[in-house]
Every structure is written in structure tokens, then in C-alpha cells.
């Protein structure tokens, strides 16, 4: 099983596309809350992260739009931890980036800043302009939504680095 993982990683690297752009912003929705005091706790928790420049909140939908001082230092794991530390969970998290003719397909790996994103459940296509990537890994998506995808990738690709390697799909917008 381990050799299969290594094979898939090598295969993944072979298929890898390097996007010239950086992560522009991250949006996330928190779950498990309704009150504004709870929402403000998440806001404050996200705001104190050193890489975060600005957080725009949508209290009614418990969602946050996060812009960064330096995209190179972005940690998606820190964003997730900030929500958990405030006492809640991440319902979904989307990474926004600009693409210029980047070819992606299922199981292909995309290098963006320090991150590697493996694509799941998409048609082979070229990404152009501003696109969002929905993260599918555990604790980054509601469990009931994650289960729709989990079976399709967990046996195939080895995402071993919880902070740098993620599975993503292209959300229907």
C-alpha cells in the first residue's frame, strides 16, 4: 500500500503544473454558531494571525474573507486552527488564485506558493483568470460534504503533509 502511495506521489509530481500566480485570498465559513459574540471570537482569532492583513466578515452567514500581507507565509492550517480555537469548526474553505492557461485534471498536482493541490472530481481543463479551489481535506469541510469526495481520492493519493498538501475541487459557481 505504501509503495502505491509513493508511486502515486511520483506520478503526481510528473503531472504537476506550476502556476505562476500566488494565493490571492481565502474565504471560509464557520459552523456551529449563530451569535455575533461567537462570530466576533472567530474574527478576532483570524485577525491576530501574523500573515493576515484584513478580514471581512459576513456575520449573517458566519463567513469570512481573508486577505494576506504576504501570500508566501499563508498557512491554511493556521486559519483552520484559529476557527477551532474560537470554539467552532470550518464548514468550507476556498482558496482564490489567478491562473494563466494552467492545465489540470483529476489527480494532477498544482503547485501554488508552497502548497501542492491535488485535483479531485473535475473535468480535464485549462484554468484561466480568477478561480476558487475548494479544499476537501478533513476539518476543512463539513463531514457530510467531505464524504461525497473522500472515497474518490483517499485511496489514490497520499497527502501526508497536513499543512502543505491538500485535495481540492473546482466549486460550481
Partner 1 sequence: MKKFIKYGSLWVMIVFYFNGIRAQELFVFSEPASNMPAKSLGIRASNWLMYNNRGNMLNYQFIPELMWGVNKNLMIHLDGFFTNQGGNFHAVGAGTYAKYRIYSADAVNRHFRMAVYGRLSLNNSVIFQQEIDLTRNNTGYALGLIATQLLHRQAISATIGFNQAYNNGSENKFPPGQAEQAMNFSLSTGRLIFPKEYISYKQTNLNLMLELSGQHLIGDNKNFIDLAPAVQFIFNSQTRLDVGYKFQLYSDMQRVAPNGFMIRMEHLLFNVF
Q: Whose Cβ is closer to partner 1: residue 43's or residue 117's?
A: 43
Examine residue 85 and tell whether it contacts partner 1 (CB under 8 A): yes
**In Å, how far from its chain's centre is CA 112?**
11
Examine residue 45 and tell whether it contacts partner 1 (CB under 8 A): yes
Buried residues in 129-140 as b, exposed as e (16+ CB within 10 A):
eebbbbbbbebb
CB atoms within 10 A of CB 69: 13
C-alpha to C-alpha distance for 42 and 98, rounded to whole angstroms: 27
Q: Which helix (H) or strand (E) holds 27?
A: strand 23-31
- Phi (first) and psi of residue 157, to 5 degrees: -115, 150
DSSP-derived pairing of the beta strands 115-119 and 165-169? parallel
Applying CB under 8 A, which of residues 55, 91, 133, 159 lies at the interface with partner 1?
91
Applying CB under 8 A, which of residues 6, 16, 20, 36 lies at the interface with partner 1?
36
What is the smallest separation between the CB atom of 45 and partner 1, expressed in angstroms?
A: 6
14-33 footprint of partner 1 as x/- string (CB under 8 A): ---------------x-xxx
Interaction residues for partner 1, span 54-73 (CB under 8 A): 57, 59-60, 62
Examine residue 115 and tell whether it contacts partner 1 (CB under 8 A): no
Examine residue 171 and tell whether it contacts partner 1 (CB under 8 A): no
Applying CB under 8 A, which of residues 41, 52, 79, 93 lies at the interface with partner 1?
41
Helix, strand, coil distribution of the chain in percent, nearest 5? 30, 40, 30
Interaction residues for partner 1, span 127-156 (CB under 8 A): 142, 144
Q: Which of 4, 14, 2, 1 is CA-nearest to residue 116?
A: 14
Examine residue 35 and tell whether it contacts partner 1 (CB under 8 A): yes
Task: Give the residues lining the site for partner 1 (CB under 8 A).
Answer: 29, 31-37, 39-41, 43-45, 48, 57, 59-60, 62, 84-89, 91, 142, 144
Amino acid at each position: 500500500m505504501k509503495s502505491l502511495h509513493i508511486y502515486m506521489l511520483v506520478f503526481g509530481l510528473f503531472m504537476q503544473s506550476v502556476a505562476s500566480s500566488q494565493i490571492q485570498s481565502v474565504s471560509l465559513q464557520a459552523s456551529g454558531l449563530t451569535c455575533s459574540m461567537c462570530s466576533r471570537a472567530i474574527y478576532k482569532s483570524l485577525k491576530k494571525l501574523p500573515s493576515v492583513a484584513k478580514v471581512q466578515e459576513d456575520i449573517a452567514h458566519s463567513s469570512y474573507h481573508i486577505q494576506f500581507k504576504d501570500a508566501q507565509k499563508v498557512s491554511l492550517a493556521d486559519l483552520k486552527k484559529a476557527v477551532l480555537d474560537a470554539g467552532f469548526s470550518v464548514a468550507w474553505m476556498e482558496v482564490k488564485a489567478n491562473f494563466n492557461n494552467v492545465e489540470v485534471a483529476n489527480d494532477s498536482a498544482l503547485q501554488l506558493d508552497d502548497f501542492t493541490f491535488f485535483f479531485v472530481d473535475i473535468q480535464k481543463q485549462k484554468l484561466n483568470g480568477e478561480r476558487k479551489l475548494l479544499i476537501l481535506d478533513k476539518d476543512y469541510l463539513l463531514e457530510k460534504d467531505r464524504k461525497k469526495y473522500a472515497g474518490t481520492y483517499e485511496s489514490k493519493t497520499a497527502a501526508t503533509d497536513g499543512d502543505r498538501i491538500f485535495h481540492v475541487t473546482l466549486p460550481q459557481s
